[in-house]
Amino acid sequence: MIPMSLASVAAVIDGELSERADPEAVVTGGVEFDSRKAGPGGLFLAIPGEKVDGHDFAAKAHEQGALATIATRPIDTPAIYVDDAVGALTKLAKHIAAASKARVIGVTGSNGKTSTKDLIGQVCADLGPTVATEANFNNELGHPYTVCRVEPDTEYLVLELAARGIGHITELCEIAPPHIGAVLNVGISHLDGFGDIETTARAKSELPRFLGERDIAILNRDDPRVARMADVTRAAVATFGIDADAAFTAADIDPGDGRHRFTLRTPGGSAEIRLNLWGRHHVYNALAAAGVAWHLGASPEQIAASLSKAGRLSERRMDVFTRPDGTTVIDDSYNANPASMGAAVRTLGQLPTEGRRIAVLGLMADLEEQSESCHRRLGEQAAEAGIDEVIAIGEGTEPIVDGADGVTATHVPDQAAAIALLRSRLRPGDAVLVKGSRYRTWDVADSLRAKEETHQ
Map out the domains of the chain as residue ranges. 4-82, 100-309, 319-455
The C-alpha atoms of residue 2 and residue 157 are separated, in whole angstroms, by 13
Task: Tell me how far CA of residue 294 lies from CA of 49, 102, 237, 297, 350, in angstroms.
Answer: 43, 17, 13, 5, 31
Count of C-beta atoms within a 10 Å radius of residue 159: 28
CA distance 25 to 9: 10
List own/partner pairs for 407-415 with CB under 8 A and 24 or more apart. 407/379, 407/382, 407/383, 409/379, 409/382, 415/440, 415/441, 415/442, 415/443, 415/444
Stated length of the chain = 456
Angle at CA of residue 109, ends 370 and 307, nearest 5°? 130
d(CA 371, CA 108): 23
Q: pLDDT (tens digit, 0 to 9) for every residue of the chain, 456 residues total? A: 999 999 999 999 999 999 999 999 999 999 999 999 999 999 999 998 888 999 999 999 999 999 999 999 999 999 999 999 999 999 999 999 999 999 999 999 999 999 999 999 999 999 999 999 997 788 899 999 999 999 999 999 999 999 888 999 999 999 999 999 999 999 887 666 677 899 999 999 999 999 999 999 999 999 999 999 999 999 999 999 998 799 999 999 999 999 999 999 999 999 999 999 999 999 999 999 999 999 999 999 999 999 999 999 988 999 999 999 899 999 999 999 999 999 999 999 999 999 999 999 999 998 989 999 999 999 999 999 999 999 999 999 999 999 999 999 999 999 999 999 999 999 999 999 999 998 999 999 999 996 555 666
Specify the CATH superfamily of domain 4-82: MurE/MurF, N-terminal domain (3.40.1390.10)
Q: Rounded to the nearest 10 degrees, what angle do helices 281-295 and 338-350 cross at?
A: 110
For 319, the 3-state DSSP assignment is strand
Q: Contact 120/104 with Cβ under 8 angstroms?
A: no
Which residues is 32 bridged to in the sheet?
A: 44
φ/ψ bin of 316: left (φ > 0), alpha (ψ from -120 to 50), beta (otherwise): left
**Alpha-carbon Rg for the chain in angstroms:** 23
Domain 319-455 has CATH 3.90.190.20: yes
Q: Quick one: CATH architecture of 100-309? A: 3-Layer(aba) Sandwich (3.40)
**Cα distances (Å, whole numbers) of residue 446 to 219, 317, 353:** 36, 13, 21
Q: How far, in whole angstroms, is CA 259 from its chain's centroid?
A: 20
Q: What is the pLDDT of residue 451?
A: 53
Cα–Cα distances (Å) from 46 to 28, 62, 142, in that order, read 19, 12, 14
* Vertex 382: Cα angle to 371 and 392 (nearest 5): 55
Say if CB 259 and CB 278 are below 8 A apart. yes
- The whole-angstrom separation of Cα 240 and Cα 381 is 26
The beta-strand segments (E) located in 323-371 are 328-331, 357-361
CB 68 within 8 A of CB 43: yes
Asked if the domains 4-82 and 319-455 are classified in one and the same CATH topology, the answer is no
Hey, is 181 helix, strand or coil?
Answer: strand
Bin 167: left if φ > 0, else alpha if -120 < ψ < 50, else beta.
left
